[in-house]
Amino acid sequence: MNRVKAVHWLWRAWFSLPSSDMLVLTSNSGKSVQVRRVKADDSALLSGLYYRLSPETQELRFFCHNRLEAIVEAQAQLLAEADPKLHLALVALVDEVDAQGEVSEMAVGVARYACDAEEPTTAEFAIVLRDDFQKDGLGRKLLHLLIEEARNNGVKTLRVVWRGHNRAVQALIQGTKLASSTRVDGGEMTTLLAL
């Protein structure tokens, strides 16, 4: 079995496993992260990730920074409790020493897609990685996991809304080698990827 088929099989096998199972991804520099589906009790992990993002990363991903704590926590709860038929969210985790000096599980990234209610074959996706895990190949690997699962669930088009100066998203889009179209509206771009 060639490498592409082996990886394709691995992704299919992993997504058919129960949601508690993990997959280990390794970055280009050798950092390992455990990736699993987001669970309903992950809202504290997700909001914790937001607060460990730089203002620049918050701006590029969420189009603003310094959100009110109540908004961050409400959005983290929505992500954690999303309908699995229309939504997939993956969390990348590492064990790190926390503020109390104890080793605990920390989220370093989230990748998700959400299907349009009116058009379930189209889904919007987003990926965010903590600054010290960026530009190391993990975003690309997470996007490939999303694409594979989207295809398995009948999604035909992935959409991403991004700032024109976000070179990381531009590189991710180009790296998929999928047919795409981009619409520009001011400084905001909307790209459609054909699966």
DSSP code at position 153 = T
Topology annotation, domain 23-194: Aminopeptidase (3.40.630)
pLDDT of residue 1 exceeding 60, the answer is: no
CA dist., res. 16 & res. 37, Å (int): 12
- What pLDDT is attached to residue 14? 43
- What pLDDT is attached to residue 138? 96
pLDDT of residue 175 exceeding 90, the answer is: yes
DSSP 20-47: T--EEEE-TTS-EEEEEE--TT-HHHHH
- What pLDDT is attached to residue 102? 92
First to last CA, the chain: 24
Q: What percent of the chain lies above the pLDDT cut of 90?
A: 49
- What pLDDT is attached to residue 16? 43
Instruction: Tell which wins on pLDDT, 33 or 85.
Output: 33
* 2-33: pLDDT as tens digits: 333 334 434 444 444 345 588 999 999 999 99
Instruction: Tell which wins on pLDDT, 19 or 185.
Output: 185
How does residue 178 score in pLDDT terms, banded at 50, 70 and 90? very high
* 109-157: pLDDT as tens digits: 999 998 988 899 999 999 999 999 999 999 999 999 999 999 999 999 9
- What pLDDT is attached to residue 132? 94
The one-letter amino acid at 75: Q
- What pLDDT is attached to residue 50? 83
Domain boundaries, the chain: 23-194
* 40-82: pLDDT as tens digits: 888 888 888 888 888 877 776 665 655 545 555 666 566 666 6
Instruction: Using the structure block, give the residue that is written with the tokens 């987003």.
Output: 126
CB 124 within 8 A of CB 161: yes
Dihedral sign of CA atoms 88, 94, 95, 97 in order? negative
The one-letter amino acid at 168: A
- What pLDDT is attached to residue 52? 83
Q: What angle do CA 52, 128, 32 make, to 5 degrees?
A: 80
| Half-sphere CA count of 1, side-chain side, radius 13 A | 8
